[in-house]
Structure 1
Amino acid sequence: MRALTRATLAIFVVIGLTLTGCSTDPATDAGFVSGDGSITILPPDQRQVAPNASGVDLAGKTLELADFAGQIVVLNVWASWCAPCRAEAGALEEVAKQFENQGVQFIGLNTRDSNAAARAFIRKFDVTYPSLVDTDGRIQLLFNDSLPPQAIPSTIVIDQKGRVAARALGVVTAATLRAMIEPLREESGRANG
């Protein structure tokens, strides 16, 4: 088991060193930084309860994290104008479909975007999971006490107990997403088995 943990850590280090994040125009930066590709995974005893973020999604429906209690939630912060967000869209959708109906829910968090541009992005990249609208960054700020999404794109993974378990700053690949999700599924299996 320890060898698997070391191997997983080695994969994250390699992925972290090779990924790059989204750079924005300094005039519109509003406190965001480019993702450096870093991945942070917290052991269970260091995880904090995720805020019950809620809002309206791009389809006009009210959505809150509490709706997915008992599931792993993958929350991806994105914007239509962000080139790395476009680059990772396929990987997010691939893994969302892979884990569909398996206790893993993907949710987008669209930021600093018009609804029209965000909807066009969703259509172009065939994104099937819901995306909350966070035009003013209010939802992102709720995560400041745990692992804040400090870049666009950023991905936060919340475990089945509603705690922030992992964060990636910058582009994620399908392999990275699986490596962030699978240990949480295993934790759940150990807890239930």
Structure 2
Amino acid sequence: MSTRSRAVLLGATAAAAALTLSACGNGGTSGGGGDTNFVMGSDGISTAKKGERAAAPDLSGKTVDGKQLDVADYKGKVVVVNVWGSWCAPCRAEAPNFEKVYQDLGAKGVQFVGINTRDTSVQNAVAFEKQQGVTYPSLYDPTGRMLLRFKKGTLNLQTVPSTLVFDREGKIAARSLSPLSEDRLREMIDPVLAEK
């Protein structure tokens, strides 16, 4: 391999690594402008008061296992939406926490739904779910089009993982733009679950 070819390859590899690092990990707090009525808590979880919440967009389509899913069918339940990718190390770290909380709270009216994004192959997403023991459904959104349906400022499209909690009326009550431990995930869900 020539010196020039090595330099081009090294540059391309560095650019790809930088892009991957910028798109996965602790995404901070910003959703990218827009007025979403979120108030940032000291724990990094943003919440919106009841009566000031934006409606969730249409989240329907094929799941990673090829079934049809419409999140609107879960109206009346608290819905936890987690944006993830199989390529994302923090997603792998938080997946067991999400599955545990899903198993614990399912009988209390909490439904989890994943949105798999930027996986170029559905097989990668399926392998991730199997490896991590994830049993709740995930919509397959390889190009991120579904994420663009959210009101500006709700999500930062470069931040994966991200998590939203919808109240029983299908409105966005809370969000986190960083990986969540089991305790922080419960802290995010519990107030919404306690609402009557």
TM-score normalized by the length of structure 2: 0.78
- Is 1:160–2:168 an aligned residue pair? yes
Say which SS state the counterpart of residue 162 (structure 1) adopts: coil
Alpha-carbon offset, residue 45 of structure 1: 2.4
Give me the whole-angstrom Cα distance separating, in 1, the residues matched to 2:154 and 2:89: 23
Specify which of 141, 147, 150 is matched with residue 140 of structure 1. 147
Partner of residue 76, structure 1: 82
Residue type of the partner of 1:132?
L
Alpha-carbon offset, residue 58 of structure 1: 1.2
Alpha-carbon offset, residue 180 of structure 1: 1.2
Matches within 5 A, 1:1-193: 25-27=17-19, 34-36=26-28, 38-113=44-119, 114-145=121-152, 147-150=154-157, 151-188=159-196
Deviates more, 1:165-174 or 1:143-152: 143-152
Alpha-carbon offset, residue 185 of structure 1: 1.5
Judged with a 3 Å threshold, the aligned counterparts in structure 2 of structure 1 residues 165 and 25 are, in CA distance, closer, same or farther, namely farther
Alpha-carbon offset, residue 149 of structure 1: 4.6
Give me the whole-angstrom Cα distance separating, in 2, the residues matched to 1:152 and 1:106: 17
| Residues matched between the structures, number | 165
Gaps of 5+ in 2: 1-15, 30-43
Judged with a 3 Å threshold, the aligned counterparts in structure 2 of structure 1 residues 178 and 111 are, in CA distance, closer, same or farther, namely same
Judged with a 3 Å threshold, the aligned counterparts in structure 2 of structure 1 residues 138 and 62 are, in CA distance, closer, same or farther, namely same
Say which one has the larger Rg: 2
Residue type of the partner of 1:179?
E
Say which SS state the counterpart of residue 103 (structure 2) adopts: helix
Deviates more, 1:107-116 or 1:147-156: 147-156
Residue type of the partner of 2:166?
I
Say which SS state the counterpart of residue 44 (structure 1) adopts: coil
Residue type of the partner of 2:82?
N
Alpha-carbon offset, residue 101 of structure 1: 2.2
Alpha-carbon offset, residue 25 of structure 1: 3.5
Say which SS state the counterpart of residue 108 (structure 2) adopts: coil
Partner of residue 5, structure 1: none
CA RMSD of aligned residues (A): 2.1
Gaps of 5+ in 1: 1-23, 189-193
Alpha-carbon offset, residue 128 of structure 1: 0.4
Give me the whole-angstrom Cα distance separating, in 2, the residues matched to 1:32 and 1:91: 18
- Give structure 1 regions of 4+ aligned residues with deviation exceeding 3 angstroms: 24-34
Alpha-carbon offset, residue 146 of structure 1: 5.9
Residue type of the partner of 1:166?
A
CA contact (8 A) 2:165 2:189 kept: yes
Alpha-carbon offset, residue 156 of structure 1: 0.6
Question: Deviations for 1:20-52, whole angstroms, at most 9, x for unmatched residues?
Answer: xxxx83446898885127321111122011112
Give me the whole-angstrom Cα distance separating, in 2, the residues matched to 1:185 and 1:28: 35
Give me the whole-angstrom Cα distance separating, in 1, the residues matched to 2:63 and 2:79: 16
